Amino acid sequence: MLNRQGRPTGTGEGGAGDRETFTGNRALEQLEPLIFEIGRAETSGVDIPAAPKVASRLGGHARKAPIGLPGLSEPEAMRHYVRLSQKNYGIDTGLFPLGSCTMKHNARLNEKMARLPGFSDVHPLQPLSTVAGALEVMLELARYLMTLTGMPAVALSPKAGAHGEACGMMAIKAAIAAKGEGATRNVVLVPESAHGTNPATAALIGFSVKAVPARPDGTVAVEDVKALLGPEVAAIMLTNPNTCGIFEPQIVEIAAAMHEAGAYFYCDGANFNAIVGRARPGDLGVDAMHINLHKTFSTPHGGGGPGAGPVVLSQRLAPYAPVPFIHVEAGEPVLVEHREAAPEGTAPFGRMTAFHGQMGMYVRALAYMLSHGADGMKQASEDAVLNANYVRAGLADLMSLPFPDHPSMHEVLFDDSWLKGTGVSTLDFAKAMIDEGYHPMTVYFPLVVHGAMLIEPTESESKASLDLFVATLRDLAMAAKGNDKERFTAAPHHAPIRRLDETRAARQPVLRWTKPAPGAPAS
């Protein structure tokens, strides 16, 4: 007999484990088809009175056939969306060790603050006299960001890390143009270990990109930077701590070399979570740095948005910060909306967003800062580093560390040399973690090591939670080394959807539902 996915039901050769159920569900895990597949055109969850007859003014453009919206009863619609919501693995369902992403707990206090009507209902076109509280939140957040980074200015409006990179690099471009070097300084140095958004941003802003080689120990050496410097170099984009989870030991020397060459230092601050309260980018010689509020300051990662990526700027770049911004004049906040209205001594390069950025994220980040206090934020960074090193110590005898001589900061990087000869790849290992109920770590990034596995547990995890995670990974690692290849290469065994053709899913995504021919099984 076929089930509703068109697969035979009954016991398969492998026993109960691969038995298909009639419904396609696995115990209480419900298979959830598309709403179009469960809907019936003739059904509606509400009774709407028939529309009164009116003379058509559509001139022959009226629809000839039903629109084909899926019809469901109210409980069916409710169940559909609740089940979909349950399929989302998030920090509220389990440890989320995605390196470079800082998936930390989002405290409910922050949510409560963001939902206060004065914040959640605020409109960007409201008269200024009615938004004094919102402006004060923005100013207070800016003050905290400047204090924590030791930088004199901040542009709040960018909406994510990559957007912040664009903002910082546009400020650098404007500063270079103001010095009359716009035509000649057009090269940006980017280390090989950088996040892909760094070279992409530099190229998007019109710079050409030159790669700085990674040293065998995973760091960037000042001699390698100096060898690439010249009058054509506009800036370096360097991540610190870097994407291998290592604090760049020569960062101060690199900053000095850039400045001596008349260039700027853009720091990718995605990993600021590791150093808050311990090191200030301003003291390291940084000119511009974005801060992913959704990482360091625990605002939610919203499936691509809404995010916030404020950019802190040095004195040299501050005049070029984009509009809109809040300028304090005689103790009163003044909203500068247009370049023409910019105060004397400033020359905003333009605008990054239609309005002021993500108010809800500002409130959440400020609530995080205020509830932690200065000592609490420092403690959070220290705990993030401690947790990463705890995981490292628990796995280092089984998995291989490409850079064993550097302590890890907030994330620990393993490569796949320990899997050599097992027939198990990094991807297989990650898929087997799904069977154990864990979201996999970041894999195959950074590119400077083979088969990278980047684990960032964050400060949110308790020792008990870390112990279970380490024990699970140890069990998997021993199984991989013990030739239990099938546990990995066919994983995930227990997920409702098994191994996908990832290349096809990325290259030929099916984004549109088409009605199957009558009698055809659902795909």
DSSP secondary structure of 103-118: -----HHHHHHHTSHH
Check residue 101 for interaction with ligand PLP (CB under 6 A).
Answer: yes
Check residue 160 for interaction with ligand PLP (CB under 6 A).
Answer: yes
Phi and psi torsions of 94, nearest 5°: -175, 175
Q: For residues 104 and 195, which CB has a smaller minimum distance to ligand PLP in the complex? A: 195
Place of tokens 């290992």: 429
Q: For residues 101 and 449, which CB has a smaller minimum distance to ligand PLP in the complex? A: 101
**Nearest-approach distance from CB 445 to ligand PLP, in angstroms:** 9
**Nearest-approach distance from CB 270 to ligand PLP, in angstroms:** 3
| Binds ligand PLP by CB under 6 A, chosen from 307, 319, 402, 440 | 307
Binding mask 264-303 for ligand PLP (x = CB under 6 A): ----x-x---------------------x-----------
Binding mask 182-211 for ligand PLP (x = CB under 6 A): -------------x-x--------------
Q: Which of 290, 295, 217, 228 is nearest to 258 (CA)?
A: 228
**Nearest-approach distance from CB 242 to ligand PLP, in angstroms:** 8
Answer yes or no: are the C-beta atoms of 352 and 155 closer than 8 Å: yes
443: DSSP letter: E
How many Å apart are CA 173 and CA 201, to the nearest integer? 12
Answer yes or no: are the C-beta atoms of 287 and 262 closer than 8 Å: no
Q: For residues 300 and 307, which CB has a smaller minimum distance to ligand PLP in the complex? A: 307
Q: For residues 100 and 381, which CB has a smaller minimum distance to ligand PLP in the complex? A: 100
3-class SS at 361? helix
Check residue 243 for interaction with ligand PLP (CB under 6 A).
Answer: yes
Check residue 240 for interaction with ligand PLP (CB under 6 A).
Answer: no
CA angle centred on 194, ends 188 and 199, rounded to 5°? 40
Answer yes or no: are the C-beta atoms of 71 and 41 closer than 8 Å: yes
| Binds ligand PLP by CB under 6 A, chosen from 161, 191, 199, 451 | 161
For residue 89, give every residue at least 6 positions away whose Cβ sits within 8 Å of its Cβ, in sequence order, or none.
96, 439
Binding segment (CB under 6 A) for ligand PLP, from list 49-57, 158-166, 230-238, 381-389? 158-166
3-class SS at 102? coil
DSSP secondary structure of 199-241: HHHHHHTT-EEEEEPPPTTSS--HHHHHHH-STTEEEEEEESS
Q: For residues 439 and 481, which CB has a smaller minimum distance to ligand PLP in the complex? A: 439
**Nearest-approach distance from CB 69 to ligand PLP, in angstroms:** 34
Check residue 162 for interaction with ligand PLP (CB under 6 A).
Answer: yes
Answer yes or no: are the C-beta atoms of 110 and 367 closer than 8 Å: yes
Alpha-carbon 509 to chain mean position: 21
Closest residue to bound ligand PLP by CB:
161
| # binding residues, ligand PLP (CB under 6 A) | 14
Q: How long is the chain?
A: 523
Binding segment (CB under 6 A) for ligand PLP, from list 160-168, 350-358, 380-388, 503-511? 160-168
DSSP secondary structure of 320-376: GPPBSEEEEETTEEEEE-SGGGPPTT-----BSSSSS--HHHHHHHHHHHHHHHHHH
Q: Which amino acid is at 301?
A: H
Q: Which of 483, 388, 487, 504 is nearest to 429 (CA)?
A: 487
Q: Which of residues 408-437 bind ligand PLP (CB under 6 A)?
A: none
**Nearest-approach distance from CB 504 to ligand PLP, in angstroms:** 25
**Nearest-approach distance from CB 237 to ligand PLP, in angstroms:** 9
Binding segment (CB under 6 A) for ligand PLP, from list 155-163, 249-257, 352-360, 368-376? 155-163
For the beta carbon of residue 298, count every other beta carbon within 10 angstroms: 27
Check residue 309 for interaction with ligand PLP (CB under 6 A).
Answer: yes
User: Which parts of this chain interact with ligand PLP (CB under 6 A)?
Assistant: 100-101, 160-162, 195, 197, 239, 243, 268, 270, 292, 307, 309
